[in-house]
């Protein structure tokens, strides 16, 4: 019996010396950084959208767009007329799933070291009860690894926002417009939609 106790004691000492029973520092989570706030007002939705671009977080991006699952209006996207003509086959059936596909494709094909950002200027927000309109000039910078594809888009956006049954705000209609001859967000969406 004492021989067995000696062996067990020896194994315990060896195991303790290897640090097997020591506590260790927890590993940091492997989740994307997120600055998402509950969308309880239209201005929070806009900030969440800006942050989702910076964070390249598709779930947060999608949470900014209207979802009929929660009793919200169906989401729609209207590109500039010339972009619609050029990519008619793509934009004829554009919906929330198209937004997810475009965002995922752009994220996958992006440079890991260069940052993406959405810069808004000349912002105007008007809220009337349970709906709101937001307009702004935008510059979307999103470096990607695809030769010939845009790295930057500029234009004017108009969002119509509403409240769902959970009292959360989201964008239900997005109108994209050209400013000058620059490529627009619509061009970027079309090129990364497949």
Among the residue ranges 28-42, 64-78, 134-148, the one predicted with the least confidence is 28-42
Q: For residue 146, what pLDDT is reported?
A: 79
103 has a pLDDT exceeding 60? yes
Confirm if 56 and 110 have CB atoms less than 8 A apart: yes
| Residues sharing a CB contact under 8 Å with residue 53, sequence separation 6 or more, in sequence order | 61, 116, 117, 118, 140, 142
Cα separation, 117 vs 19, in Å, equals 45
Q: For residue 111, what pLDDT is reported?
A: 78
pLDDT level of residue 24 (50, 70, 90 thresholds):
very low
- 160's tokens: 């119509």
Q: For residue 26, what pLDDT is reported?
A: 46
Map out the domains of the chain with their CATH numbers.
Answer: 41-191 (3.10.450.50)
Task: Name the residue among 116, 97, 144, 136 with its Cα closest to residue 51.
Answer: 116
Cα separation, 133 vs 16, in Å, equals 65
| Residues sharing a CB contact under 8 Å with residue 37, sequence separation 6 or more, in sequence order | 44, 47, 48
Terminal-to-terminal C-alpha distance of the chain: 72
17 or 168: whose pLDDT is higher?
168
What pLDDT digit, counting tens, does each position of 62-98 carry?
999 999 999 999 999 999 999 999 999 999 999 999 9
């Amino acid at each position: 019996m004492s021989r067995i106790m000696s062996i067990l004691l020896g194994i315990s000492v060896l195991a303790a010396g290897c640090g097997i029973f020591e506590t260790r520092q927890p590993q940091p989570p492997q989740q994307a950084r997120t600055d998402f706030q509950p969308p309880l007002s239209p201005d929070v939705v806009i900030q969440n959208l800006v942050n989702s671009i910076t964070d390249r977080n598709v779930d947060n991006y999608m949470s900014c767009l209207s979802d009929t699952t929660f009793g919200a209006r169906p989401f729609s996207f209207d590109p500039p007329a010339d972009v619609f003509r050029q990519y008619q086959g793509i934009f004829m059936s554009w919906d929330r799933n198209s937004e997810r596909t475009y965002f995922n494709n752009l994220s996958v094909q992006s440079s890991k070291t260069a940052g993406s950002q959405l810069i808004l200027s000349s912002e105007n927000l008007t809220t009337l009860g349970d709906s709101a309109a937001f307009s702004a000039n935008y510059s979307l910078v999103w470096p990607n690894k695809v030769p010939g594809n845009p790295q930057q888009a500029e234009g004017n956006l108009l969002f119509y926002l509403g409240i769902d049954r959970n009292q959360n705000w989201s964008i239900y209609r997005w109108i994209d417009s050209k400013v000058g001859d620059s490529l627009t967000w619509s061009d970027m969406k079309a090129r990364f939609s497949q």
